[in-house]
Structure 1
Amino acid sequence: MRLGIQLGYSGDDFASEADEAVEFEEAGADLVVVPEAYSFDAVSRLGYLAARTRTMDLASGVMQLYTRTPTLTAMTAAGLDHVSGGRFNLGLGASGPQVIEGFHGVRYDAPVARTREIVEICRRVWRRETLTFEGAHYRIPLPGDYAKPLKIINHPVRPRVPILLAAMGPRNVALAAEIAEGWQALWLDPRSAERVFGDALADGRSRRDPALGPLDISVPVPFALGDPDPALLIRHRAQLALYLGGMGARGRNFSNDLVRRYGYADEAKRVQDLYLSGRRAEAVAAVPDDLVTATSLVGRPDDVRRGLDALAAAGVTTLLASPLATTRAERVKDIAELHRLLPGRA
């Protein structure tokens, strides 16, 4: 199992986060993931990290597929792969209509079909093909007197940058298993993973090109070593409430749908009702304790080792830890110990 670090998207002191990422790299971290959401863009921060780090991979987690043209997405990935010396992974996702239509002013439609077309376009660009593409959603070049097929001027470091698709719904998960190097999961409950995702993963893998290699499954997990302390997980509980209640409209909230499929239908509805009615503290309190515990990794080393074994049994191959300790020194120390505890590392 690889060890990754999941950064937050709301911090303002990125220079300090980069300093800490360098220490995580020295402590054994293999990967750092930079989110985007509707915060600062991921690309500028990934470029900064490319200059500060030396060995760890870098990944976007995730770049929304609607807000850049497919060709710009390919160019950006190739550029980040170049400045990092071949260490970039393109984390790509559809986000949701609330962000795409509400913040970017772009229509949210056909996420599965658009994802498939964008992945194909990116790979053609990285192979330096003269780009022509006729899809249901993208046509390159456009018809007209002035458009002509082109290929990227530079020679990409690699002809295939690894693509990690963020997905929660069955069709998107199946697509990730079919066409991507990796699947970025969210709120993964290892006890329910096979029941909720097993059929979609099997369906996608049945059409997977062997040249892609085994599917990498990554999952972000809040992490701390020590006696379980509810205070450590209050931010995780609050983030669950935000995503279940506020990251999407009623009837169009992908995180809420996922948690319902885990078996928390009544609880998910209550959190959403409270959140959307403005009772946010009550929404946070209504997040089920069992869900908070199942989607985090907090405890003494033996507890953490058992949690890691459960994630590995669920198919997870990359752990994206969000260290929760109060001080930077404690966080770096915890990551070094987590590196030692990972399956296959001890």
Structure 2
Amino acid sequence: MRLGLALGYGGEPIEQVLPIVERAEEIGIDSAWSVEEYGPDAVSVLGYLAARTERINLGTAIMQIPARTPAATAMTAMTLDVLSNGRFHLGLGLSVPWIVEGWHGQPYDKPLRRTREYVDIVRKAVAHEARVEHDGTLYQLPYRGPGSSGQARPVKADFTPLRPHIPVYLGAIGPQNVTLAGEIADGWLAGLYAPEHEKALTAPLDEGIARAGRRRQDVRICPILYVARADTAQEGRDQLRPLFAHLIGAVGAGARNTYFDLACQMGYEGHARRIREEFAAGRKADAVALVPDSLLDEVALVGPLPAMADRIAAWKESRVDTLILLDRDVELLEAAQAAL
């Protein structure tokens, strides 16, 4: 198992970020991953880090599919791969409806179809074998629909990529999305994940792998873990409890809460239903108090440094390829790397 670092870059001076990544590279951390929502993008910081590092892999977790055309994403991926000398991993995901429609002004429709077509176009462009053509439900290359000039022709990137295959990772939570990751992705960026519930959590992934005639080792499992270092485990849990109450309890109009579904799948259905009821009634403090300690212990890293390093041992015995820590604690990175 390898370790990764999720940056969660928020637009702060790069001098606050670079030393952490440099130290991560020095001690052998496998990868650094950038995040985007509706603030700083996931791409720019990696371009900078590509120039300031030599060995650590650089990935997006995630680049939002609705924010860019497939061709724009392919161009970005090929460029970052050149700048990093072949260290780039392309993590993609749909984001959530309120960001897709409220920020990007795009419809949140046919998510599985959109992801499948998008990845197909990106891979064709990166392969650089022929002019890119795609006649799909949601994407047409060349475009010949309403408003078209009728003069378009297929296009091929005007430079040769460093690699004809850049690894594609899908950020997926719901079972159908996870199955799709098993079918078409090189890696799965998982949300709530716990070694104790691995068989159930990976069942949709294995379904997709089998459907596509692939092998388990063809798809890397890469959970992103929330981290809360504290003097005691209880203090660490209490730092994360409000976040997990929101993840499990929030209910958007017309949207399914896949975090709620995952909590139920892991055996916490009673807790999850009560959290959702309290959250919906506006009693958020009560919802927070209902988040079980055992769930937090399973899906996050909490407490003092030695306990967090010990917990890494459970992950080493799992199917996880890369455990990505959403934190910038250099001491934790050092202790976790030493525990491998």
Q: Mark yes or no: TM-score above 0.5.
A: yes
Residues 232/13 of structure 1: CA separation in 2 closer, same or farther (3 Å cut):
farther
* Selected match of 1:322 from 310, 323, 326: 326
Q: Is 1:308 equivalent to 2:326 in the alignment?
A: no
* 1:306–1:23 distance in 2 versus 1, CA, 3 Å: closer
Provide the secondary structure at the position in 1 that maps to 2:196: coil
| Residues 210-249 of structure 1 aligned to structure 2 (within 5 Å) | 214-223=218-227, 228-246=232-250, 248-249=252-253
| 1:220-267: CA deviation from partner (whole Å, max 9, x where unpaired) | 223477864322344432322232234844752222222222222232
8 Å contact kept, 2:233–2:304: no
Which blocks of at least 5 consecutive residues in structure 2 are unaligned? none
Q: Is 1:131 the equivalent of 2:135? A: no
- Which amino acid in 2 is paired with 1:332? V
- Cα separation, 1, equivalents of 2:142 and 2:320: 40
Q: Contact 2:11–2:40 at 8 Å: present in 1 too?
A: no
Can you give the 5+ residue segments of structure 1 that lack an aligned partner in the other structure? 325-330
Q: Bigger CA drift: 303-312 or 114-123? A: 303-312
Q: Per the alignment, do residues 333 and 308 of structure 1 end up closer, same or farther by CA in structure 2, a change over 3 Å counting?
A: closer
1:134-175 deviation digits (Å, cap 9, x = unpaired): 112111001242211111112111111100111112221111
- Kept in 2, the 8 Å contact 1:4–1:319? The answer is yes
CA contact (8 A) 2:230 2:236 kept: no
Name 2:331's counterpart in structure 1. 333
Q: Determine if contact 1:2/1:318 at 8 Å carries over to the other structure.
A: yes
Aligned to 1:182: 187
1:108-119 alignment runs, 5 A limit: 108-119=108-119
* Offset at residue 3 of structure 1 (A): 1.0
Shift of 1:215: 1.4
- Once the 2 structures are TM-superposed, how far is the Cα of residue 117 of structure 1 from its aligned partner? 1.0
Change (3 A) 1:155 1:88: same
Matched, 1:205 2:209: yes
The 1-side partners of 2:293 and 2:222 are apart by 23
| Equivalent residues of 1:51, 1:84 under 8 A apart | yes
3-state SS of paired residue (1:33): strand
Q: Distance in 1 between matches of 2:33 and 2:216?
A: 21
- Judged with a 3 Å threshold, the aligned counterparts in structure 2 of structure 1 residues 104 and 311 are, in CA distance, closer, same or farther, namely same
Offset of 1:295 from its aligned partner? 0.9
**Aligned residue pairs: how many?**
335
Is residue 96–residue 248 contact of structure 1 (8 Å, CA) maintained in 2?
no
Deviations 1:191-225 (A, max 9, x none): 12212332x12221214465996211011223477
- Aligned amino acid, residue 152 of structure 1: A
Q: 1:285 deviation in Å?
A: 2.6
In 2, are the aligned partners of 1:61 and 1:91 still within 8 Å (CA)? yes
2:8–2:36 contact (8 Å) kept in structure 1: no
Cα distance in structure 2, aligned partners of 1:60 and 1:169: 20
Once the two structures are superposed, residues 35-83 of structure 1 have per-residue CA deviations (whole angstroms, 9 ceiling, x without a partner) of 1122311111221222222211111111111221111111111111111
Distance 2:283 2:18 in 1: 35
Which residue of the partner structure matches residue 142 of structure 1?
Answer: 143
Contact 1:245 1:273 in 2 (8 A): yes
1:97, 1:248 within 8 Å by CA — same for their partners in 2?
no
Partner residue in 1 for 2:265: 261
Identity %: 38
- One-letter code of the match for 2:118? I
8 Å contact kept, 1:5–1:322:
yes
Distance change (3 Å), C-alpha of 1:156 and 1:247: farther
**1:5-154 matches, cutoff 5 A:** 5-10=5-10, 12-128=12-128, 129-143=130-144, 144-154=149-159
Secondary structure at 1:192 match in 2: helix
Q: Write the distance in 2 (CA, Å) between the matches of 1:187 and 1:274.
A: 21
- C-alpha distance 244-210 of structure 1, shift in aligned 2 (>3 A): closer
User: Which among 288, 293, 302 is matched to residue 289 of structure 1?
Assistant: 293
Contact 1:301 1:341 in 2 (8 A): no
Cα pair 2:171 2:189 within 8 Å, conserved: yes
